[in-house]
Homo-oligomer: A and B are copies of this chain.
Amino acid sequence: MTAIICSLDEALAPIADGCVLAVPRESSGAAMAATRALIRRGINRLHLIALPTSSLQADLLIGAGCIETLETSAVSLGEFGPAPCFTSAILSGTVRMLDTTCPALHAQFQAAEKGVPFMPLRGLIGSDVLAQRRDWRVIDNPFGKDDPIVLLPALSPDVGLFHAPMADHSGNVFVGTQRELITMAHAARKTVVTVETIHDGDLLRDPTLVAGTLPGFYVEAVAVEPRGAWPLSLPDHYAIDAAHMSEYARLAAAPEGFADYLQRYVYERRAA
């Protein structure tokens, strides 16, 4: 057995140029330290799936030129305004965008989790979200009568990447109520996790923590990165760094400002 706990750069090795990378929504544990490390490594041509939305993580990767295809239902900085790199990349056509809707992504990951080729979903019919997705299908519900319903194909990313409060030495990861991380790991071929800290006990043997634990069975590698979601929040641990987000929104509004941000917060510093 190779060690599951390793350095950040070692942990990120499975995330190759051109791979399909899944990351969670901005409030569920975005692996921001890992994202900065990937940018430093010069990763490119990613197909990024944000399950189901993203904020700074997608914007930074887009701005740094790492993304070829973006599949998500929304990117914004929330209260801090529009996501500047996302917006300009869409307007200039430098990123291929697959617009979707939150429950569609959840359903597609669940299909992969269950090993079925598709999942049905209500809604969507008559929307341009559906009209733009040639990879989705509409069938007549075989249990109904003249009842069209959308089928969505299973989505198995090459790698799932997220940040969580803690892991134990076997690579079991406590994610609490952020269970989309568990579905993501089940759906992904490999899962890479950064954590605040290593838990010395066995999470699977703890009668309360086990309920919020992703088994190490599904985990490829774990790296310890304290405040690894910064400047985004980690539920129950720390809030978003509002001052930093405002600074990002201000700087990233112009290319020079974004370059300045990258230099100061990504290339020169390993973490905050």
Residues of chain A whose beta carbon lies under 8 Å from any beta carbon of chain B:
107, 110, 114-122, 137, 139, 141-144, 147, 149, 151, 153, 175-177, 207-212, 236
Given A176-B211, A208-B176, A211-B212, A117 contacting B143 (CB threshold 8 A): yes
Copies in the complex: 2
Nearest residue, chain B, Cβ from A123: B115
In the complex, what residues of B have CB within 8 A of residue A175's CB? 211
Contact of A210 among B119, B177, B210 (CB under 8 A): B177
19 contacts between A and B (CB under 8 A): A116-B120, A116-B121, A117-B141, A117-B143, A117-B144, A117-B149, A118-B142, A118-B143, A119-B119, A119-B120, A139-B139, A142-B151, A175-B211, A176-B208, A177-B211, A208-B208, A208-B209, A208-B212, A209-B211
Nearest residue, chain B, Cβ from A235: B207
Contact present for A120 and B118 (CB under 8 Å): yes
Most buried by B among A121, A143, A147: A143
* Assembled-state Cα–Cα distance A177/B177 (Å): 12
Contact present for A120 and B121 (CB under 8 Å): no
Contact present for A120 and B117 (CB under 8 Å): yes
